[in-house]
Amino acid sequence: MQIIKIIFLLFSFVQAGSARSDFSWIDTPMKHLDLFWGELKVARYVYEQMDPGERERTYKPFVHLFDSEGIDFVTKGPGGKFTHHRGIFFGFSKCSAVDQNGKPVSVDTWHCKRGFQTHEKVNRQQADSNKASLQSEIAWRVEDGTVFITEKRDFTFQFDRNDRLQIDFISELSTSQPRITLDGDPQHAGFQFRASNEVFESTSKRTFYIRPKDGKDDPGKTKNWPQNQDMTNLNWKAQSVVVGDERYYTLYLDHDQNPKPSYYSERDYGRFGSYFKSSVTPERPLIVKYRLIFGTKELSVEDCESYSTAFLTQ
């Protein structure tokens, strides 16, 4: 009897362990898709449709990351310091387009004041014991609703051998309009990460950055292009913030196939990333790819270089 009990306990342990290592998606219809690893919440794709009555809250889709307990967000949503900053997000403050009357207009898909982004559908969704992925179709719209860019936005999530979460981002932008230009500045365009508003409210002076040339900087110190000319064409940059009394590290990896030059920006309240100038035509869609490495384990310069090399040589 004792042997049977031991076998049962071992079987239960193995089953629990295997379940914990499985990724799965759970949808809250018309609101968001949550990514689980076993019973632990890992990420959330927020895709609620733009509601004119709740415009500020619903004018762009984005991705949240959960804390190490899978309870609270480490990333920022609507409201707080700069409400348009949303977790992991992508847009440009200066987009040229044509409205429904054929008139040239300037559209802002960063602040979403003269345009907005809407989730249209999920093209692909997958999850197994190794990784999870999601491709959504997102319309970039003029304020009158005209679609000037159709985006296929891919996210892939997996844990590496160091228990850090690897997030791959690939975006393909296409258009039926003659020519769309994408522009802005390092603070208001591109692929960016924004930490929880808690960082702004109480822990910003504990934020620090790690850079290829400088290494680990002092807490509260930031660098930005064009004041700092070396913040150009970086393969990687890392950020560390404190949320919920726990320190998190995020490594931002830029692929050399992305448009260049790229210009970098960072803030002590937890927003950082890069932007570039480019254009999209019917004959020439734009494809960009980035990777984030996220977790609570400390990142060294050597770690960052290793992750960058792996990304660039894929």
Q: Tens digit of pLDDT for each residue in 97-146?
A: 999 999 999 999 999 999 999 999 999 999 999 999 999 999 999 999 99
The predicted structure's pLDDT at residue 14: 39
Q: Please, which pLDDT band fits residue 314 given cuts at 50, 70 and 90?
A: confident
With a pLDDT cut of 90, the percent of the chain lying above it is 93
pTM of the model: 0.92
Average pLDDT, the chain: 93
Query: Which run of H or E residues covers position 128?
Result: none
Q: What is the Cα–Cα distance from 130 to 108, expressed in whole angstroms?
A: 37
d(Cα 117, Cα 149) in Å, to the nearest integer?
9
pLDDT value of position 256: 95
Q: How far apart are CA 307 and CA 300, in angstroms?
A: 11
**CB 286: neighbour CB atoms within 10 A?**
20
- 3-state secondary structure string across 42-106: EEEEECCCCCHHHHHHHCCCEEEEECCCCCCECECCCCCCCCCCCCEEEEECEEEEECCCCCEEE
What is the Cα Rg of the chain in Å?
Answer: 20
pLDDT tens digits, one per residue of 240-282 = 999 999 999 999 999 999 999 999 999 999 999 999 999 999 9
Fold designation for 85-312? Beta-galactosidase; Chain A, domain 5 (2.70.98)
* β strands within 160-188, DSSP E: 165-174, 180-183
- pLDDT of residue 13 exceeding 50, the answer is no
Question: Mean pLDDT throughout 4-13?
Answer: 36
Which of these ranges, 19-28, 227-236, 288-297, has the smallest mean pLDDT? 19-28
Mean pLDDT of 183-207: 98
Query: Mean per-residue pLDDT for 206-214?
Result: 97
Place of tokens 């004792």: 2
Q: Find the range with the poorest average confidence among 19-33, 44-58, 200-214.
A: 19-33
Q: Look at residue 78 and tell me whether its pLDDT is greater than 50.
A: yes
Is residue 69 pLDDT above 50, yes or no? yes
